[in-house]
A and B are shown apart, each in its own frame.
Chain A
Amino acid sequence: MIKTVTKVALPVDEVLAIRKNRIEPEGMDKKLKKKCKRISIVTGTHGDELEGQFVVYELQRRIRENPDLLKGIVDIYPAMNPLGIDSITRGIPAFDLDMNRLFPGNIEGDMTEYLAAGIIDDVKGSDAVVDIHASNIYLTEIPQIRINELHQKELVPMAEQCNVDFIWVHSNATVLESTFAYSLNSIGTPTLVVEMGVGMRITKEYGNQLVDGLLCLMKHLGIWEGEVISPRKPMISTDWTDVSYLNASTGGLFVQTAKHGRMLKQGEVVGEIIDPLEGKVLDTVKAPTDGLLFTIREYPIVDEGSLLGRLLAKEVAEK
């Protein structure tokens, strides 16, 4: 059932509506429905991140194949930022704002805050929320869940159900307190943040992997009674020193050599920064340590400092 979560009229003959699809067990009486568990799958906060679009489609397709196995409520929010998705804009067009820095919003605030508050009000109280992101247009990520250290005790066991390759518990930063996930976690609605793939693209393999995981999580919560896989055992990092960052030493064109998701040896070549004008190699980028290349630069043009990749320390990756 399609429902409008919140809406606002735009200046010239258009209504901006945030919509969701609520999927409920068929034939369940109203009293039982009120007691059953609810999972919310949210995506499309950044208009250039599309991996979640396939995930929410595929999840619904699988539920629809066996609707009798659904024992709880699944709320699908495919587009938190419809104007951004339509205009291939990461933030909210016109406002030039990152929507994931506006939460919990304010019902009496401006349009963006008003919408954010309406979304939080609708999602809060879910038994689990999965907020699906797709890195950005510059970097490709292996399927992973990122968790603020403040909420790790509750969230890591849930994340382990999700069939992702990596769980990254990061330190708290004040600036992140205005994210969707932080806002919900701080009011007791457990929310996981998935990062996978790359902006502006669909990686079907990752999408299917996550859908397998979402069904595992739903089964774990008692929302799904169908057969599920055994979720893969993720690598878990809780120490910031586990991750090494590769930043460009100079501007140029980055040409990747190492394969994404592979274990690299210290000194192994990750790629080269080249100068197409003069036909020269400006820098050879090497792994600073043994580790798993879980992030790789996708967009080739780089400035000095641009992130080229991230390595997870070998001992953590192989634990």
Chain B
Amino acid sequence: MKEVTIYKIKGLYRDDFRIKGYEFGKGKKALCIVGAMRGNEVQQLYVCSQLVKKFRQLEEEGRIENGKKILIIPCVNPYSFNTQKRFWCTDNTDINRMYPGYNLGETTQRIADAVFRVVSEYPIGIQFASYYMPGEFLPHIQMMDTGIDYVDLAKQFGMPYVVRRRVRPYDTTTLNYNWQIWDTKAFSFYTTTTTTIDPSSAGQALLSILSFLAKQDIVKYHGPGGVASRVISDTELVSVQTAKSGIFEKMVEVGRNVRAGTPLANIIDPYVGTILETLYAPCDCTVFFMHSDPLTYANTAVFKLVPAE
């Protein structure tokens, strides 16, 4: 394992800002993994730490294929972690809205540029992503539908779902989008949580990535190969929205298969405790995403469901 500094800037009163990467194997650049880009992405940081630990072991055991190099960047934004801010401390900008970056631009543009110059040299890229809303996901692979089609490669992760996401205007400055446009086969890997540690889905991600890399002849690994992925478009996900604001009382868990008509959650009046609304599954489905905050606003898609095949 070789520790490298991807980017560094001098702080006025703080320690220097550093982005560190960990390289494994030698030779042709084969795979890059990027972890937390926002200061609340603790699960994304945790998964990467587990991957660094595992790849260090694989390297020591000679299980990284000759001539293949892997880079893991666990965290692009340590400053925000240490101040418990989601975005860049000084100006609240989001590094994942600055790609491909600009080396003469503002601070987060420069950070994005420095990261992108390094990671764009890899043919395959995996980013541990988070959603803008608080919630839990069924672990899955997501890819932007830019018209560059490599969904068969996505299936090799052996995850139950591969989601193809329509590109919105605001996506065009994300790492994943720019990776694709600049010829890296990019995947967003969603595990269950963001602000809390979930060892179970982190472990699932680790095994999935090892299995994927074995299929690409990047590592030597003999483990479970995963399952046959179901490929869905984000437009196929069925949203269940609140009509009322209030306390969110869940009645199911992420990943559960439910029949049409199953109650999913109650919205409770925060003062008098009455049920303002019960949300039901509109079809036979699997709970794919569920809101996780104790309060919810009206008009909020608190569930996203995968309809049964």
Instruction: Pick the residue among A12, A302, A303 that contacts B295 (CB under 8 A).
Output: A12
A binding-site residues for B, Cβ under 8 Å: 8-13, 90-91, 94-97, 101, 108-111, 113-114, 136, 138, 174-178, 245, 247, 250-253, 275, 277, 301-307
| C-alpha gap A252/B90 in the complex (Å) | 12
Q: Which residue of B lies closest to A48 (CB)?
A: B92
Between A and B, 6 residue pairs with Cβ closer than 8 Å are A11-B245, A91-B92, A109-B299, A178-B170, A303-B107, A305-B107
The smallest beta-carbon distance between A18 and chain B, in angstroms, is 14
Instruction: Pick the residue among A91, A97, A110, A306 that contacts B90 (CB under 8 A).
Output: A306
| C-alpha gap A161/B87 in the complex (Å) | 39
Instruction: Pick the residue among B87, B107, B168, B297 that contacts A10 (CB under 8 A).
Output: B297
Q: Which residue of B lies closest to A114 (CB)?
A: B299
Of the candidate stretches B4-12, B116-124, B216-224, B250-258, the one touching chain A is: B4-12
Verify A111–B299 contact, CB threshold 8 A. yes
| C-alpha gap A232/B110 in the complex (Å) | 38
Verify A301–B245 contact, CB threshold 8 A. no
| C-alpha gap A232/B253 in the complex (Å) | 63
Verify B106–A307 contact, CB threshold 8 A. yes
Interface hits, B150-204 → A, CB 8 Å: 168-170, 172-173
Size range of the chain B interface in the assembly? 35 or more
Verify B110–A8 contact, CB threshold 8 A. no
Verify A247–B104 contact, CB threshold 8 A. yes
Q: Which residue of A lies closest to B173 (CB)?
A: A175
Enumerate chain B residues within 8 angstroms of A113, measured Cβ to Cβ. 299
Verify A304–B299 contact, CB threshold 8 A. no
Instruction: Pick the residue among B106, B169, B173, B271 that contacts A306 (CB under 8 A).
Output: B106
Q: Is B77 an interface residue (CB 8 A)?
A: no
Q: Is B96 an interface residue (CB 8 A)?
A: no
Given A174-B169, A178-B169, A301-B90: A252 in contact with B300 (beta carbons within 8 A): no
Enumerate chain A residues within 8 angstroms of B61, measured Cβ to Cβ. none
Name the residue in B170, B299, B301 with the highest tally of chain A Cβ atoms < 10 Å from its Cβ: B299
Instruction: Pick the residue among A10, A110, A277, A305 that contacts B105 (CB under 8 A).
Output: A305
| C-alpha gap A101/B169 in the complex (Å) | 9
Q: Is B232 an interface residue (CB 8 A)?
A: no
| C-alpha gap A202/B108 in the complex (Å) | 28
Verify B298–A111 contact, CB threshold 8 A. yes
Verify A304–B10 contact, CB threshold 8 A. yes
Q: Which residue of A lies closest to B16 (CB)?
A: A251
Enumerate chain B residues within 8 angstroms of A178, measured Cβ to Cβ. 168-170
Verify B297–A247 contact, CB threshold 8 A. no
Enumerate chain A residues within 8 angstroms of B247, measured Cβ to Cβ. 11
The smallest beta-carbon distance between A311 and chain B, in angstroms, is 15
Verify A253–B132 contact, CB threshold 8 A. no
Q: Which residue of B lies closest to A91 (CB)?
A: B92
In the complex, given contacts A175-B170, A178-B169, what are 11 additional A-B residue pairs having Cβ atoms less than 8 angstroms apart?
A: A11-B247, A11-B295, A12-B295, A13-B271, A101-B170, A110-B299, A111-B298, A275-B12, A277-B13, A305-B106, A306-B90
